[in-house]
Structure 1
Amino acid sequence: MNTIRTAMLLAAMTALFMGVGFLIGGTGGMMIAFLFAAGTNLFSYWNADKMVLSMNRAVEVDERNAPEYYAIVQAMAKQAGLPMPKTYLIDNPQPNAFATGRNPQNAAVAASTGLLQALTPEEVAAVMAHELAHVQHRDTLTMTIVATFAGAISMLGNFAFFFSGNRDNNPFGFVGVLAAMIVAPFAAMVVQMAVSRTREYEADRRGAEICGHPLWLASALDKIARGAERIRNPDAERNPATAHLFIINPLHGERMDSLFSTHPATENRIAALQAMAQQMQGETQAAPRQASTPRQADQPRPSGPWGEAAQPEQPAEPAKPKSNPWGRNPTGPKGRWS
C-alpha cells in the first residue's frame, strides 16, 4: 500500500511540475520540467535524506560523544525490532525531532539540542519511538521525497521571472508566468494535502506501543508544542516544505504556511494518547483476574524500553545522574546537558 501511495504521489508531483513548466515556457518548458522532474525523482530517492539533514545542519553522533541520547535510540530501535538508525543532533534551541531515510536499513533520526534540554529521558525515548514508528511504517521515504519535490517546485516558480520575457514560447503570456509564481507559494499546501495527518496519529500510537508508556509521549508533545511556539527555527523557516517531517510543526505562527497545518492539533494527539493510556491501564487491571487461565499466564507482559513494566517485582534502582548525560554537543553550544 505504501509503495502504491508513493508512486501516486510522485506522479502527482511530476504532473504539477510539468504544469508549472508549461505555464512558464509552453510545450518546451513542459518537456524541460518533465526531464527535471525525472531527475529529481531519482535524486530524491537516493539523496533526499541527506539534503534534509543538511538543511537542518544536523551532525551525526554516536556512543562516544552523545552516549545517553545514542543509547535511548538504540533501546527504542531494539524494542521496535528495527536496525539501528544513524543518529543526528541539531544545534537548535527549539525542541523538535524528525526521521528520514528511504527504508529502515538506511534510516536516520535527528533531535535538536533544545529537545534534549527540555525533555526528560523518558520523554526523549517516547519521541524517538514516534520517529522510529515513521521508519517502521516507511513514511520517511514519502516524506523526504515530498519535501525535495516541493522545494524544487518553489524554485521553479521563483525562476518564472527569468523566463517571463520569452512570450513566444508561452501561450499564456504574463498570465501564465503569474500563475506559475502563485503555484510556488502554495507548494507547501500540496505537501500537506499529499501527506495525510492520519500518519501522525498512527506514528503516535505505534510510538506509544514501542516505548510502553503513552503518557510519556503525551507529555513530550505538550512540551515540544509550547517550545515551538516560543522559539523560532530559522532553518525550518527557510525551508518550509520540510515542516511536515518534524514531530511538531516548527514554523512560527505568523507565516502563511501555518494556515495549512501539516500536523493534527496537538491537543487532539494528546487526548488520543491519554485514551490509549487508560485503555492499557484497564487491560492491565483486568489481567490479574484472568491469571488462573494457563493461556493468559503464558502471555508475556508489556514492557517499556528499560523493562520496568515487565519486571515489577524487581524495580531498578534509579541511576545516579552523570555529569554529562547527553554527551558533549559536537556543534559546540553550551547548556545544562553540554
Structure 2
Amino acid sequence: MNTIRTAMLLAVMTALFMGVGFLIGGTGGMMIALVVAAGTNLFSYWNADKMVLSMNRAVEVDANNAPEYYAIVQGLAQRAGLPMPRTYLIDNPQPNAFATGRNPQNAAVAASTGLLQALTHEEVAAVMAHELAHVQHRDTLTMTMVATLAGAISMLGNFAFFFGGNRDNNNNKFGFVGVLVAMIVAPFAAMIVQMAVSRTREYEADRRGAEICGHPLWLASALDKIACGAERIRNPDAERNPATAHLFIINPLSGERMDNLFSTHPSTDNRIAALQAMARDMAGNNSQAASRRAPAPRQADMQQPSGPWGQAAQPEQPAQAEKPKPNPWGRNPTGPKGRWS
C-alpha cells in the first residue's frame, strides 16, 4: 500500500513540477520541467536521505562515541525485528528527532543533542521507537522524497519570480499572472501534499512505537516535553529547510500556531490523549489476564499468615517512590519541562 501511495505522490509532485514549468515557459518549459522532475525523482530515491541528513548537519555515531544512545536504538531495533539503522546526532538544543531512508535496510534515525539532554532514558527510548515505527511502516521513503520534491517545487516558484516575468517571452503566455501562480500556488500545493503524508501517519507511528517500547506513557511524556522545547527553542536548520519539517516527531518550526488544516503534524494534545487511552486499554487487558490466571483462594491460605519462624508475617512496607532515572548521559534532565515532569 505504501508503494502505491509513494507512486501516487510522485505523480502528483511531477504534475505540479510540470505545471509550474508550463506557467514559466509554456510547452517548452513543461518539457524541461518533466525532464528535471524525472531526474529529481531518481536522485531523490537514492540520495534523499543523505540530503535531509546533510540539511540538518547530522553526524553519524556508533557504539564508541555514543554508546548509550546507540544501545537504545539497537535494543529497540531487535525488539521490532528490524535491521540496525544508522544512528545520527544533530548538534541542536531543540529536542527533536526524525527517521529517513528508502527502506528498512537503508534506514537512518537522528536525534538532537537537545533531545538527549532534556529527556529521560525511557523517554528517549520511546521517541526512537516512534522513529523505528516509521521505518517499519516504510513511511520514510515517501516522507523523505516528498521533502526533497517539495523543496524543489518551492525553489522552482522562486525561480519563476526572477525569470518568468518577462512579458516579451512568447513562450510565457500567462505573463505576470503565471508568475504569481507559480510563486504562490505551487509551494502551497506542495505543502498540502506534505500534510497528507505526515498527519495520518504520526498516529500510527505513535501506536506502533508505544508497542515497541512497551509503555505508551513514556512516549506521551516525551511528546509533551518536545513540544514545550520546540516552542521555546529555534531550529535554524529546519527554518532554512521548511520542506523537511514533516519528518520530525514534532514540528520544529517556530511560526505562530496555525489551524489544524495547515499544520504539518496532528495536535500534540490529541496524540497524547490517544496514547493515554492506549495505556488504559493495555492496563485493563493486563488486569483481566492476571485475574484469569490467578487461582481461587484456598481455605488454608485465608488463615493468618506466618513467617519462616512461626511468627505472624509483618505486612509489607509500601515501596519507596522511585527516583527519576538519569538520561542516557548520566545526568538528570535539565532541559525543557513538560506537564509530565
> TM-score, normalization: structure 1?
0.85
- The RMSD of aligned alpha carbons is 2.4
Matched, 1:128 2:128: yes
1:174-213: CA deviation from partner (whole Å, max 9, x where unpaired): 2111211112442552233431512000000000000000
Matched, 1:73 2:68: no
Change (3 A) 1:187 1:91: farther
Quote how far apart the aligned CAs of 1:325 are.
4.3
Letter in 1 for 2:164: F
User: What does 1:36-55 align with in structure 2 at a 5 Å threshold?
Assistant: 36-55=36-55
- Please name the residue that 1:273 is paired with: 275
- Please name the residue that 1:13 is paired with: 13
- Contact 2:94–2:234 (CA under 8 A) maintained in structure 1: yes
Tell me the distance in 2 between the aligned counterparts of 1:271 and 1:167: 56
Quote how far apart the aligned CAs of 1:170 are.
0.9
- Please name the residue that 1:306 is paired with: none
Quote how far apart the aligned CAs of 1:171 are.
1.3
User: What does 1:1-338 align with in structure 2 at a 5 Å threshold?
Assistant: 1-160=1-160, 161-165=162-166, 167-254=169-256, 260-291=262-293, 324-325=329-330
- Contact 1:97–1:112 (CA under 8 A) maintained in structure 2: yes
1:298-336: CA deviation from partner (whole Å, max 9, x where unpaired): xxxxxxxxxxxxxxxxxxx9999799549xxxxxxxx99
- Please name the residue that 1:329 is paired with: none
1:127-154: CA deviation from partner (whole Å, max 9, x where unpaired): 0000000000000000000000000001
- Contact 2:133–2:208 (CA under 8 A) maintained in structure 1: yes
SS of the equivalent of 1:35 reads: helix
- Please name the residue that 2:313 is paired with: none
Letter in 2 for 1:216: W
- Contact 1:252–1:258 (CA under 8 A) maintained in structure 2: no
Change (3 A) 1:125 1:321: closer
> TM-score, normalization: structure 2?
0.84
Change (3 A) 1:12 1:167: same
- Please name the residue that 1:331 is paired with: none
Letter in 2 for 1:164: G
| Count of residues in correspondence between the two structures | 305
Tell me the distance in 2 between the aligned counterparts of 1:36 and 1:241: 19
- Please name the residue that 1:296 is paired with: none
- Contact 2:46–2:102 (CA under 8 A) maintained in structure 1: yes
Runs (5+) with no aligned partner, structure 1: 294-316, 327-334
Change (3 A) 1:256 1:180: farther
- Contact 2:195–2:265 (CA under 8 A) maintained in structure 1: no
Tell me the distance in 1 between the aligned counterparts of 2:259 and 2:22: 26
Change (3 A) 1:174 1:255: farther
Tell me the distance in 1 between the aligned counterparts of 2:325 and 2:68: 13
- Contact 2:123–2:219 (CA under 8 A) maintained in structure 1: yes
SS of the equivalent of 2:60 reads: strand
- Please name the residue that 1:302 is paired with: none
Quote how far apart the aligned CAs of 1:163 are.
3.3
Letter in 2 for 1:56: N
- Please name the residue that 2:312 is paired with: none
Quote how far apart the aligned CAs of 1:64 are.
0.5
Tell me the distance in 1 between the aligned counterparts of 2:121 and 2:327: 13
Q: Percent identity?
A: 84
- Contact 1:95–1:114 (CA under 8 A) maintained in structure 2: yes
SS of the equivalent of 1:168 reads: coil
- Contact 2:198–2:246 (CA under 8 A) maintained in structure 1: no
Tell me the distance in 2 between the aligned counterparts of 1:252 and 1:319: 30
- Contact 2:143–2:198 (CA under 8 A) maintained in structure 1: no
- Contact 1:191–1:241 (CA under 8 A) maintained in structure 2: no
Tell me the distance in 2 between the aligned counterparts of 1:140 and 1:32: 28
1:215-257: CA deviation from partner (whole Å, max 9, x where unpaired): 0000000000000000010111111110000000001123889
Tell me the distance in 2 between the aligned counterparts of 1:195 and 1:31: 27
Tell me the distance in 2 between the aligned counterparts of 1:15 and 1:324: 48
